[in-house]
Amino acid sequence: MKLTNMFAAMGMVVASSVGFAHGHGSCSETELHEHMMSIKTELRSLAQDVKSDDLDGASGHVKALIGLFEDSKAETPYLFKEQKLTGSALESKQADYVAVLDDAIVKLKDIDSKIAMGDSGKIGSAVRELGKYRKIGHSKFKADC
């Protein structure tokens, strides 16, 4: 009997741990979350290609990132849904969100032009500057879920 209870308790712990580790609840079930996870992967790959001086690979990652940021502009951050924003309040916040994405796209296009010129020294610093958009985006638009 005690063995059965122990296995039942272990099963409940494992099930709840998997639930917590799997995602962020409703946040992880959005297209925007999927885009952001892909952006994270592409940024890491971009940084690695820049470090190894693989400019062709870096250019491919920049193009993928631009597409992901463009796709993300059509999404509404979960935070806005969580805050139940509507009307002009939602429009204002959405415009701020899109502006940050547009700024990141401009920076990515700048990086792409540096890649096309083969200017390795400036590419690395430009890629590092992308981190500021992550900080802005997370501080203003990411839900704590």
Taking only the tens place, the pLDDT of each residue in 76-127 is 998 898 899 999 999 999 999 999 999 999 999 999 999 999 987 889 899 9
Please enumerate, as own/partner, the contacts of 103-107 that have beta carbons within 8 Å and a separation of 24 or more.
Answer: 103/133, 104/69, 104/130, 104/133, 105/66, 105/69, 105/70, 107/133
Instruction: Evaluate whether the domain defined by 25-141 bears CATH number 3.40.50.720.
Output: no
Residues 6+ apart with CB under 8 A from 82: 143, 145
Residue bearing tokens 């790959």: 45
Give me the pLDDT at residue 86, please.
94
Does the model's pTM come out above 0.85? no
Residue 145 confidence (pLDDT)? 61
The predicted-structure confidence for 14-55, as pLDDT tens digits, reads as follows 333 333 333 445 666 889 989 999 999 999 999 999 999 999
Burial degree of 123 (CB within 10 A; 0-12, 13-18, 19+): buried
The closest of 73, 64, 65 to 31, measured between CA atoms, is 73
- pLDDT tier at 13 (50, 70, 90 boundaries)? very low
Return the higher-pLDDT residue of 144 and 34. Answer: 34
Instruction: Say how far apart CA 133 and CA 138 lie, in whole Å.
Output: 8
**How many whole angstroms separate alpha carbon 40 and alpha carbon 107?**
16
Instruction: Band the pLDDT of 56: cuts 50, 70, 90.
Output: very high
Rounded Cα–Cα distance for residues 102 and 69 (Å):
8
- Position 52 scores a pLDDT of 93
What six digits make up the tokens of 49? Answer: 């290609």
Q: Which residues contact 100 (CB under 8 A, 6 or more apart)?
A: 133, 136, 137, 140, 141
* Domain ranges, ordered by start, for the chain: 25-141
